[in-house]
Chain A
Amino acid sequence: MADDHLDGVHQYLLLLTADPTLAEDLAAETFEKALRVWRRYDPRRASERTWLCRMARSIALDHFRADARRRRREERFAHERAWQEDDHIPGTFSPELDAALRSLTAAEREVIALRIVLDFDADAAAQVLGIGRSACSMRLARALRKLEERMEAHAVA
């Protein structure tokens, strides 16, 4: 299971978090949990890949929540990581595409990762995101439009 789906889950987390190190940590955590609760997996409800991506999403959201609580406790405003020249999402994306991806929100990157990069069908992607099929399609259309616009803007710049 790990061998078959590690690449896909890692790619998904990479696009979701836009942070290679965080994606790696969350991917490891995802597979650790998956191995613990493997006996509860029901193949009639979802494919292995869908199940794993849903688990990865849940773990990522827990991380975001914990991080938000930590920052509130420390009474700091949201830290905006300074954009750096060499900051990029690992992969063979073009510079324009890479920059455009990083300018999207996590929710927009997430739906692109599931539908385009990992080639999930509409139902499976909707199951991972916990939304309806039509909502998932609408979210993808908006994300791709925004991505295209950002790419054009970067190209012009």
Chain B
Amino acid sequence: MQSPDLIAPERLEQLIAGALPDTDREARMQGLALELRSSVSPAPERLRERIQSRPSPAPRRSLVSRRRLTAVLVPACLLVTVAGALVFGKGGGQDNSAAGERGVPVAVQESRSPEVVTGAASDGAGDAPQRLNGAAGGRARDIDMWIELRVRNGDQLSESAEDAARIVRELGGFVAASTVRTAGTEGEAELVLRVPTANVDDAAFRLSELGAVTNQHVVTEDLQTELDLLVRRIEAIDRAIRIAMLRLGSGTLSADERLRTEIRLERLRSERAQLDRSRGRVSADAATAQMTLALHTREAVTGTGDESRIGGAARSALELLGQAGAMAVFLAIVLSPLIFLGIVGLLARRSRARRTEAMLLERTRPASPSPSPRN
């Protein structure tokens, strides 16, 4: 028969700890606990001897707590990661710096076999653009050059623009277009210059002295092949024309043959005129180079000397870390379903283990009779 005055777990804890009982039931429960506590019997002597016959364990090593280990390992790993990124970045920065000192990494574009030369940004005043040998080996070339210069202020910008026009005229060229904008000490200008190809190197050299070169870009396109083709075609047509005229002047042609020859002669002359015009255009392109001179008063994008190396190294290091972080995020996203399934599986396994354990312990009787005889 169950007693109506049930004892709450919290009150039971107090009674076990020695609190004074308030009711008979509490007193009985406390008495029960005392009886259980006082009924402890020592382990059998044979068990004690059995255990004491074992050798003593080796001294326990002092363990490093997980917290201390984490406090040391995490900063160490971060330090190694950052140092590695800086080393890689420094190597990349040095490469970039070396290229800057050379002045020109060369890239070739495929377009009527042009040759592209791009100058890296440099703040060295008066750095000369790469020499192009405008009439290299006499070959016809179409040269398109872009030069960007930084000047101190708006006044110098105006003076430099005037000087550029004067230089180009002195070299036999002309200013095709000009735009100048100034506002106080700031300003920018753009001049499109046409310069005889033979003088393009001199022009580039003299123009670069007007300020600090911050960028340069050149596209050269070989026109000689096209020109040679045109010349050979023209020569072939000239020969065909002479042959046709000789035939017409021979007086041996029938009326029909004469007519056909005259038609053919007319067609040849027309084609020759067209080829002449093409040759003229190609020759004109090869005769002068287009130079675009951009002047500005903006600060240089890149630093100088050592600062650019450090900046480049730091930037490369940050890029590397950024890429590593992006890769980590990508992997986390890709692997997250597997991780989730793993966690769910682990929790299910633990839950099952707990249920099995509870089932084993809920047996009223011992699991099985002991194989050894009971005493």
| Interface residues as binary, B348-375 with A (CB distance below 8 Å gives 1, 0 otherwise) | 0000001011101111111111101111
Interface residue B44 (Cβ < 8 Å from any Cβ of A): yes
How many of B's residues come within 8 Å of A, CB to CB? 59
Which B residues are within 8 Å of any A CB, using their own CB? 1-3, 6-10, 12-13, 16, 28-29, 32-33, 35-44, 46-48, 50-52, 54-58, 60-61, 63, 65, 354, 356-358, 360-370, 372-375
Q: Besides A22-B366, A39-B61, A87-B374, 16 other CB < 8 A contacts?
A: A7-B43, A10-B44, A19-B370, A21-B374, A22-B370, A24-B43, A38-B57, A39-B58, A44-B65, A61-B361, A63-B367, A64-B363, A91-B39, A105-B361, A110-B361, A152-B1
Majority-rule SS of B interface residues: loop
CB pair A106 B362 closer than 8 Å: yes
CB pair A21 B372 closer than 8 Å: yes
Interface residue A85 (Cβ < 8 Å from any Cβ of B): no
Interface residue A46 (Cβ < 8 Å from any Cβ of B): no
A102 → chain B closest CB, angstroms: 8
Find the B residue at minimum CB distance from A62.
B360
CB < 8 Å neighbour of A17 from B46, B354, B366: B366
Residues 37 to 74 of chain A near chain B (Cβ within 8 Å): 38-39, 41-42, 44, 61, 63-65, 67-68, 70-71
Q: Which residues of B contact A87 (CB under 8 A)?
A: 374
Report the bound CA distance from A78 to B368 in whole Å. 8
Which A residues are within 8 Å of any B CB, using their own CB? 2-3, 6-7, 10-11, 17-22, 24-25, 27-28, 31-32, 35-36, 38-39, 41-42, 44, 61, 63-65, 67-68, 70-71, 78-81, 87, 90-94, 97, 103-107, 110, 112, 115-119, 122, 130, 134, 137-138, 140-141, 144-145, 147-149, 151-152
Query: 30 pairs across A/B with beta carbons < 8 Å?
Result: A2-B48, A6-B47, A6-B48, A6-B51, A7-B40, A11-B41, A21-B375, A25-B370, A31-B54, A32-B51, A32-B54, A36-B57, A39-B58, A41-B60, A61-B357, A63-B367, A64-B363, A91-B39, A105-B361, A105-B363, A106-B366, A107-B362, A116-B16, A116-B36, A117-B36, A119-B37, A137-B9, A137-B12, A141-B12, A149-B3
CB pair B361 A107 closer than 8 Å: yes
A17 → chain B closest CB, angstroms: 6
Q: Which residues of B contact A42 (CB under 8 A)?
A: 63
Report the bound CA distance from A108 to B57 in whole Å. 34
CB pair B51 A2 closer than 8 Å: yes
Q: Which residues of A contact B369 (CB under 8 A)?
A: 19, 79, 81
A59 → chain B closest CB, angstroms: 13
B358 → chain A closest CB, angstroms: 7
CB pair B368 A71 closer than 8 Å: yes
Find the A residue at minimum CB distance from B2.
A149
CB < 8 Å neighbour of B362 from A21, A41, A105, A112: A105
CB < 8 Å neighbour of B360 from A35, A65, A134, A138: A65
